[in-house]
Amino acid sequence: MSNGANSAKKFDFIAIGRACIDLNAAEYNRPMEETMTFVKYVGGSPANIAIGGARLGLKAGFIGKIADDQHGRFIEKYMSDAGIDTSQLVVDQEGHKTGLAFTEIKSPEECSILMYRDDVADLYLRTDEVDEEYIQQAGMLLVSGTALAQSPSREAVLKAVQLAKRNGVKIVFELDYRPYTWKNKEETAVYYSIVAEQADIVIGTRDEYDVMENSEGGSNDNTISYLFGHRPEIIVIKHGVEGSYAYTKSGEVFRAQAYKTKVLKTFGAGDSYASAFLYALITGKDIGTALKYGSASASIVVSKHSSSEAMPTVEEIEELISNQPVIHS
């Protein structure tokens, strides 16, 4: 499998799923109840990954749906200014709102999030708003698991997966499990399995793979044995501060350790990891190096106030890989 940058394609990758608003506490070291001021950022895992990828120089596109209001217009402008193609960012016409995430910054270990995710615009993306010609122009399609949580976004994503397969576009499945958008874990397991079996690359935390398998305390061996029986060629499993692993269908195993950093908050780590990992693969780096890029990018973002705005440049990542010690576990 070659993951090199595909110069024949208009987009290195297209992400599909939610683009939302983060409202991050402007005051630190206090619970949200006592936080009086919030700063607005673009948020949502696939939007963050697209922004992170564009920051690193990748040609990125986005398929999603935004509210027809001030927050929706902010999102569109921010992503467009970041260099992402937003031609497939559909404006909702049925009065749905932008998803919100209020965050507190209480301590590095405690950062509760208050989500507004009921009937949000991104989950109303429809099958007829997913365009085969657009997907054909991409080297990769990045699918966010949360976009499978509800209809009609669920069917729009399943259609995008079918179109990607039919057109030889590689599918990257970021499990991105957020319990509050799902009815129950069995349902999550059903759809995660359907998409993971059809993906080329699967990325998630150990806990997220457990959700996909509808189990607890699952092992990486079982996970890769199951998924390599289907289409996947690379499986990335993240174990938090213990580092992350990449497995290939041909039997290779890679591990990257986490970098030491001054953690401000934990959210945004996964998205920055994914964008840097994909950047490295797309630009022809080996899988071991790609893992390091992911780890380094994550450690930069957790030290900063936002997820999207904090996405690092290639220089920042490479500087950190060169100079920063890893966490030995």
Q: Are 81 and 54 in contact (CB under 8 A)?
A: no
Residue 319 engages a copy of itself in binding (rule: CB under 8 A) = no
**CB under 8 Å to 32, separation ≥6 — which residues?**
25, 102, 103, 104, 106, 112, 114
**Residues 197-236: x where in contact with a copy of itself by CB under 8 A, - otherwise, as a string:** ----------------------------------------
Task: Show the tokens assigned to 159.
Answer: 């259609």
* Element holding 24 (H helix, E strand): strand 20-28
Stretch that binds a copy of itself, among 70-78, 254-262, 275-283, 294-302 (CB under 8 A): 70-78
- Peptide bond preceding 152 in cis form (omega within 30 of 0): yes
Task: Supply the minimum distance, in Å, between the C-beta of residue 152 and a copy of itself.
Answer: 7
Task: Supply the minimum distance, in Å, between the C-beta of residue 219 and a copy of itself.
Answer: 18
Task: Supply the minimum distance, in Å, between the C-beta of residue 146 and a copy of itself.
Answer: 17
Q: Which of 71, 238, 292, 305 touches a copy of itself (CB under 8 A)? A: 71
Smaller CB distance to a copy of itself: residue 59 or 117? 117
Stretch that binds a copy of itself, among 7-15, 26-34, 139-147, 268-276 (CB under 8 A): 26-34
Task: Supply the minimum distance, in Å, between the C-beta of residue 175 and a copy of itself.
Answer: 17
d(CA 311, CA 55): 7
Q: Which of 5, 69, 108, 260 touches a copy of itself (CB under 8 A)? A: 69
Task: Show the tokens assigned to 10.
Answer: 């208009």
Stretch that binds a copy of itself, among 139-147, 158-166, 168-176, 236-244 (CB under 8 A): 158-166
Say how many C-beta atoms besides its own lie within 10 A of residue 234's C-beta: 24
**Residues 81-110: x where in contact with a copy of itself by CB under 8 A, - otherwise, as a string:** ----------------x--x-x-x------
Residue 155 engages a copy of itself in binding (rule: CB under 8 A) = yes
Q: Radius of gyration (Cα) for the chain, nearest Å?
A: 18
d(CA 301, CA 293): 12
d(CA 209, CA 207): 5
* Element holding 122 (H helix, E strand): none
Q: Which of 87, 93, 151, 219 touches a copy of itself (CB under 8 A)? A: 151
d(CA 259, CA 123): 35
d(CA 20, CA 99): 5
Binding site for a copy of itself (CB under 8 A): 23, 26, 31-40, 69-71, 73-74, 77, 97, 100, 102, 104, 112, 114, 116, 118-119, 126-128, 151-152, 155, 158-159, 162, 183-184, 186-187, 189-191, 193-194
